[in-house]
Amino acid sequence: MSGANDIRKTFLEFFKHNGHEVVPSASLVPINDPTLMFTNAGMVPFKNVFTGIEKRPYSQATSSQKCVRAGGKHNDLDNVGYTARHHTFFEMLGNFSFGDYFKEQAITLAWDLITKEYALPKEKLTVTVFHEDDEAFTLWKKIAGLPDEKIIRIATADNFWSMGDTGPCGPCSEIFFDHGDHIWGGPPGSPEEDGDRFVEIWNLVFMQYEQTASGRNDLPRPSIDTGMGLERIAAVLQGTNDNYEIDTFKRLIAASVEVTGAAETTQNRASHRVISDHLRACSFLIADGVSPSNEGRGYVLRRIMRRAMRHAHMLGAKDLVMYKLAPTLIGEMGQAYPELVRAKKLIEETLKLEEARFRQMLEKGLNLLENSLVDLNGDTLPGETAFKLYDTYGFPLDLTQDALREKKLKVDIDGFNRAMDEQKAKARAAWSGSGDAASDDVWFNIQDKFGSTEFIGYSTERADGKI
């Protein structure tokens, strides 16, 4: 049985042998893109290569890209711990053609890798194509010899990718693995597709059009972008449908059991998963220069950290625990990502400081929450209470939601936002400012929208090539 480190290596070597340049993962903080919170797909560092703005000395590349999906368009934060296939941090394996090979070669390579190198049984595989993409349908039939009913036509945006409102776009084809009928879920396009039985392992994007304000044109040299979750393919190859049962996570969860002193019972399961998932996200973000703060990227990091820390508290951990897990993670992933090794001290110090700070507030905050549940009518916590937890005790909204989730309760989000707006209005009123009303407004609007100055700061720093 191959471990995740070997599976990554096999992927990169396969594409290297097939003429691809192996490109190291870019930072989780996207360069030259202040609109994007975190790198969330393998193609992100190549955006300008696809549009032609940037030239590279190669036209085929492969990478294992660090990704975080905990905010913005792709937000999998709430899924973590509760589905078997979502992480906040994961590695996306990909191969890319910049105006070089196209659909036929992309499908051939993908099929060879999964059925020959990884030796997956063909009968467990199902693919989807965009409903209008007859070319892809025919190619799957020809190359993979799949029967018609295993090439599912999908009409939704899941099978049509675009970079933005304008720019390159095109149909996608996704490869699903059927983990078997002992697991709930149905094939893509069916009402049960959200289950964990048919798991999407690989997405092939065929960039063949350019969307402009006036319409859609054929790209003269179409491109390929693919993404496969390392943890998902590792699960398949290790005979489980559950990403949290792969070698990497088994060791992280064992470490979490050890430092918290809480056994891996059914009741504790989600917490250990959240802790080990969030540990990875936090450590990698810190290694890429993000530090916890109340704004922008730093705030997302803080939310992830505090959520993990609340779960450690729920497990009954008496001491600070997160920093104690860092060495296990670095042992698992430090060879593939040496930035983790370099940042070891910083990761540990940051986790320790944040956990110490949060612990001071946690108990009081949780008491307030419990007390307000005593005389709660209905299933919704008032927005002002959630805001008070946020404002006074440093509980991000999603942490409160997560705490209530187990009790089948929710938060009045509108009320929370109203309380937040009121506080901002008070801050505005109290701030004498520069005396220039127009520019003060601009400042507050920018802060509301992007939440930071730090945002641009990190990107500019990266653009200078500093680590």
Site residues for Mg ion per CB under 5 A: 200, 203
The nearest distance, CB 205 to ligand ATP, in angstroms, is: 8
Residue 202 binds which entry of Mg ion, ligand ATP, none, with Cβ cut-offs from 5 to 8 Å by kind? ligand ATP
Answer yes or no whether residue 160 interacts with ligand ATP by CB under 6 A: no
Answer yes or no whether residue 289 interacts with ligand ATP by CB under 6 A: no
Answer yes or no whether residue 329 interacts with ligand ATP by CB under 6 A: no
Residue 306 binds which entry of Mg ion, ligand ATP, none, with Cβ cut-offs from 5 to 8 Å by kind? none
Query: Residue 255: which H helix or E strand, with range?
Result: helix 247-260
Rounded CA separation 464/467 (Å): 9
Residues linked to residue 203 through DSSP beta bridges, in sequence order = 174, 227
Helices 266-287 and 322-333: crossing angle in degrees, nearest 10, is 70
Choose which of 61, 146, 201, 236 interacts with ligand ATP (CB under 6 A). 201
Answer yes or no whether residue 231 interacts with ligand ATP by CB under 6 A: yes
Backbone angles phi, psi at 423, to 5 degrees: -65, -40
**CB nearer Mg ion, residue 226 or residue 452:** 226
**CB nearer ligand ATP, residue 201 or residue 287:** 201
Answer yes or no whether residue 92 interacts with ligand ATP by CB under 6 A: yes
User: Do strands 160-162 and 151-154 pair parallel, antiparallel, or not at all (unpaired)?
Assistant: unpaired
Choose which of 20, 66, 232, 280 interacts with ligand ATP (CB under 6 A). 232
**CB nearer Mg ion, residue 37 or residue 309:** 37
Answer yes or no whether residue 197 interacts with ligand ATP by CB under 6 A: no
SS3 percent helix, strand, coil of the chain, rounded to 5, is: 50, 15, 30
Q: Length of the chain, please?
A: 467
Question: Any alpha helices (H) in 201-246, and if so which ranges?
Answer: 230-237
Region of 79-87, 96-104, 114-122, 455-463 interacting with ligand ATP (CB under 6 A):
79-87
Q: Are 210 and 169 in contact (CB under 8 A)?
A: yes
Distances (CA, A) of 455 to 24, 278, 288: 23, 21, 13
Choose which of 66, 86, 197, 278 interacts with ligand ATP (CB under 6 A). 86
Query: Residue 129: which H helix or E strand, with range?
Result: strand 125-130
- Tell me which residues touch ligand ATP (CB under 6 A): 69, 76, 85-87, 90, 92, 200-203, 227-229, 231-232
